[in-house]
Amino acid sequence: MTQEFILETRGLTKEFRGFTAVDDVNLQVQEGHIHALIGPNGAGKTTVFNLLTKFLPPTRGEIRYRGKPITRMKANEIARLGLVRSFQISAVFGHMTALENVRVALQRKLGTSFHFWKPESSLDHLNARALELLDQVGLAEYADVLTVEMPYGRKRALEVATTLALEPTVMLLDEPTQGMGAEDVDRIVELIRRVSKGRTVLMVEHNLSVVSRLCDRITVLARGSVLAEGDYQAVSKNPQVREAYMGSDAAAEEEASA
């Protein structure tokens, strides 16, 4: 019997005018895992995310969710299945407070699930739920702060809260620690650990220390293809990975500081 993965790609390929950005990728994400997609710039990580979340149609190949093909589904349909992406570029509205941003996300969720007439969608209920989500990401004290006035790291945490509002089964995070200082990185690592309970996370991440601390499984992409796969131990020892991605110096440093 073959194992059923929550998210799987088979022969996933994307060509841009003859240039193959994603080349025959077989990705298998196990339910409950925090799975990292790593690789040098231009490896095809963001393109894989765009294919998984239907921002781009694949040239070839198949995407499966719990064993069922979802290759031809639309973005809103897969979001309804629970496959939700948090954006790298701030998707929150600057002129609204943190609480209002989460409330908008909650209302969007209600809108797509057609329960808007239910009493749970009352403003009080939405506010209470929004506060709960803010609290989950450590932003309770920012509830009434305008988003533009929040520090960068806290804005990224707010994006996680707005993603949680959509009740994802699989959360896709594209470089959640990008541009963050060490203190914010630690906070986001703790946050991802917390919100990953009871769900699956697939994340693109450059920071290898974050990957080593959080991830159960790692897929290394290089030039559109899967170069290696395994846990951090296995992947970081792989000579091809050290050569292509970490560079032997960076890998040595990583080891020395571990």
Ligand X SMILES: Nc1ncnc2c1ncn2[C@@H]1O[C@H](COP(=O)(O)OP(=O)(O)O)[C@@H](O)[C@H]1O
Q: Smallest distance from the beta carbon of 227 to ligand X, in angstroms?
A: 12
The residue (of 44 and 58) whose beta carbon lies closer to ligand X is 44
Q: Which amino acid is at 73?
A: M
By a kind-dependent CB cut-off of 5 to 8 A, residue 42 interacts, out of ligand X, Mg ion, none, with ligand X
Chain residues in the site for ligand X (CB under 6 A): 16, 19, 21, 39, 41-47
Q: Smallest distance from the beta carbon of 159 to ligand X, in angstroms?
A: 18
238 binds Mg ion (CB under 5 A): no
Which whole-number Å values give the CA distances from 94 to 32, 145, 150, in the listed order? Answer: 33, 10, 9
β-sheet bridge partners, residue 9: 63
236 binds Mg ion (CB under 5 A): no
The residue (of 17 and 95) whose beta carbon lies closer to ligand X is 17
Q: Smallest distance from the beta carbon of 175 to ligand X, in angstroms?
A: 9
Whether the Cβ atoms of residue 106 and residue 165 lie closer than 8 Å to each other: yes
Q: Smallest distance from the beta carbon of 239 to ligand X, in angstroms?
A: 21
| Distance between CA atoms of residues 135 and 61, nearest Å | 40
Please list the alpha-helical segments (H only) found in the chain.
Answer: 45-52, 75-81, 98-112, 123-136, 152-164, 182-195, 208-214, 232-237, 239-241, 247-257
Binder of Mg ion out of 46, 147, 219, 238 (CB under 5 A)? 46
| Distance between CA atoms of residues 130 and 137, nearest Å | 11
The residue (of 21 and 214) whose beta carbon lies closer to ligand X is 21
By a kind-dependent CB cut-off of 5 to 8 A, residue 41 interacts, out of ligand X, Mg ion, none, with ligand X
β-sheet bridge partners, residue 172: 85, 202
47 binds Mg ion (CB under 5 A): no
86 binds Mg ion (CB under 5 A): no
Which whole-number Å values give the CA distances from 86 to 25, 37, 150, 198, in the listed order? Answer: 22, 15, 18, 18
Q: Smallest distance from the beta carbon of 45 to Mg ion, in angstroms?
A: 5
Residue at token pair 């305008």: 146
Q: Which residue is nearest to Mg ion (CB)?
A: 46
The residue (of 132 and 243) whose beta carbon lies closer to ligand X is 243
196 binds Mg ion (CB under 5 A): no
Rounded to the nearest 5 degrees, what angle is found at the Cα of 139, between the Cα atoms of 136 and 145? 145
The residue (of 7 and 221) whose beta carbon lies closer to ligand X is 221
Give me the residues that bind Mg ion (CB under 5 A), please: 45-46
